Amino acid sequence: MIETVVFDLDGVILDSEQVWEEVREGLARERGGRWSEQAQADMMGMSSTEWSRYMHDVVGLPEPPEEINREVVQRMLERYSHDLPLIEGAVEAVKRLADRWPLGVASSSNRELIDRVLEVAGLAPYFRVTVSSEEVTRGKPAPDVYLEAARRLGVEPQRAVAIEDSANGIRSAHAAGMHVVAIPNRAFPPPPDVLAPAAVVLDSIKELDPEVVKEAERPSIPSSG
């Protein structure tokens, strides 16, 4: 029986992957880095420690990773303060599921970004726990952030459903042993082999309701939205 639902943030509740790309690319070009089309896809799901090191080592920014992290987060907070890119239907979906299960967030975003987004969106009261991958050893696709969310919720991962959009996020939730409802990211869609094991695949978060969550408990009968 499903006992909890754990949401990813970026790409599920917030249409923010493009914002992350714009901010990181802008910083890279300002500082003489080597930005490539692959960079954003590579960094999706990484913890702040991992992606700031990637920006230093691979993209070639001269500043230390800690400084890169601070600068990117500050620019993201500024963007969110005047333009919070909530995905249409996400707030309503969260509220629908919160009526039925305790909810968690397992996000690759920094702690202050998670808190800012949920506060501005009015969603903070609906989540029992929130976990940033900077609070665990490894970012997605490792299972650490989902395992920690389950631990804080007091639920076995096998009794949890994860809501994910990206390849690394889906891999992370599967590795943790959770059932997965996938809502493929349109800008950075997961490859078919990653998407295939998802219990349910939806076109939009507007379709996410308690019946979908219950269907996700039966992974041998995948459905398509």
pLDDT at 68: 98
For 130, the domain range is: 4-15+85-224
In this structure, the answer to whether residues 110 and 78 fall within a common structural domain is no
In this structure, the answer to whether residues 134 and 31 fall within a common structural domain is no
Residue 220 pLDDT > 70: no
pLDDT at 12: 97
In this structure, the answer to whether residues 211 and 124 fall within a common structural domain is yes
In this structure, the answer to whether residues 74 and 165 fall within a common structural domain is no
In this structure, the answer to whether residues 38 and 10 fall within a common structural domain is no
In this structure, the answer to whether residues 107 and 218 fall within a common structural domain is yes
Q: What is the mean pLDDT of residues 17-29?
A: 94
Yes or no: say if 106 and 100 are a contact pair by the CB < 8 Å rule.
no
Number of domains the chain contains: 2
In this structure, the answer to whether residues 62 and 98 fall within a common structural domain is no
pLDDT at 223: 38
In this structure, the answer to whether residues 36 and 115 fall within a common structural domain is no
CATH number of domain containing 144: 3.40.50.1000
In this structure, the answer to whether residues 92 and 33 fall within a common structural domain is no
**pLDDT tier at 18, thresholds 50, 70, 90:** confident
Q: What's the pTM?
A: 0.89
Final residue belonging to a domain, choices 57, 82, 107: 82
In this structure, the answer to whether residues 76 and 90 fall within a common structural domain is no
Burial string for 153-173 (b: 16+ CB within 10 Å, else e) reads bebebebbbbbbbbbbbbbbb
Q: What's the whole-number average pLDDT of the chain?
A: 94
pLDDT digits (tens, 9 = 90+) for 137-162: 999 999 999 999 999 999 999 999 99
